[in-house]
A = this chain, B = another copy of it.
Amino acid sequence: MRILVINPNTSDGITATIVAAARSAAPHAEILGAHPSRGVTSVESHTEEAWATIGVLEQIELAESGESSPDAYVIACFGDTGVAAAREAASVPVVGITEAAVFTAVTLAHRFAIITMPPRTIAQSDRVVEALGIAHRCTVRAVDVAVAEVEEGSAHLIDAFIGEAQLAILEDGAEAIILGCAGLADLVEPLSGRLGVPVIDGVAAAVAFAAGLAAQGLMTSRRGAYGVVGSAPSAAELLR
């Protein structure tokens, strides 16, 4: 089984961290990583999401046209940027890290919290929370850190996450914490140890979920929302 994890920003460093996190969660799958050939260095604004979506489509086109196309895709950006479009373009299932992290939290805890970064991306998390209808059990909080700060690892962010997670536990009754950004896998163990509650990395959750979809032989429905891509030209050509 082969899973392609697409990082919608153009950072090699974050892509490498993501792929490493992915590998530990799907020991029986071959994990490949990719990022757009051109685009944005981090995905925080809706405008950056527009670029990132084109980049995700480019990487799916590339993977689909290759000899050994994957059995499932994971889109590794909190807010699940480009996932709906990817479902149309891909011939196999597509999983977003936000939705997968929420599914995982639901099975481990009654109430839980997403801690995203930076604060302006709360809207992107809210968007997924509303699409899933889980707001009655999931609060969204943020630490004031730019995604770029994760490029070289996330260990230096632990105190900021501890602080916000403790507020989530005390004020929101959170019983588990979702890390609201790809590239934070390094924080799972230390945070979980210090907080005493499960800490969920969306990349690991999504890769595990995608492996499960592929094992079941399921495919995105072509009836309705995720039918064919329509009149859209090739994304790869656009980004050339």
Contacts and interface: CB of A to CB of B under 8 A. Distances in A.
Given A85-B50, A238-B238, A45 B229 contact: yes
A197 interface: yes
Most B C-beta atoms less than 10 A away, residue of A39, A57, A133: A133
Copies of the protein in its oligomer: 6
Interface residues of A, number: 90
A45 B228 contact: yes
A104 B47 contact: no
Contacts of A223: 109, 169, 175, 196-197
Interface of A: 24-28, 39-42, 44-51, 53-54, 57, 82, 84-85, 87-89, 93-96, 99, 103-104, 106-111, 119-120, 122-123, 126-127, 130-137, 169, 173, 175-176, 196-198, 200-201, 204-205, 208-209, 211-213, 215-216, 218-233, 235, 238-239
Given A46-B88, A211-B211, 12 more contacts: A39-B233, A40-B230, A42-B230, A46-B84, A47-B57, A48-B232, A106-B132, A108-B221, A175-B225, A197-B221, A200-B218, A208-B212
